[in-house]
Amino acid sequence: MELHTTRGSLAREDLGLILPHEHVFVDLGPMAAENWRDADPDDVVEVMAPEIERARESGVTALVEATPEGVGRRVDVDLAVSEATDFPIVVPTGIYQEPSIPEWAREASEDELTEWLVEDLTDGVEDTGVRAAWIKVSTDDDDPTGLSPDERKILRAAARAGERTGAAIGSHTLHGEVVHEQLDTIEDVGYDPERFVWIHAQAGDERFHRAVAERGAYVEFDWIGGDDQDDGDYVDRVRRLVDAGDTDRVLLSQDRGWYDPSEPDGGEQKPYTYLTERFLPTLREAGVDEATVRQLTHDNPFEAYAR
Annotated binding site for Zn(2+): 21, 23, 136, 172, 200, 255
131 in Cβ contact with 125 (< 8 Å)? yes
Handedness of CA 218, 223, 229, 231 (dihedral sign): positive
Task: Work out the widest C-alpha separation in the chain, in whole angstroms.
Answer: 52
State residue 257 phi and psi, 5-degree precision.
Answer: 125, -135
List the binding residues.
21, 23, 136, 172, 200, 255
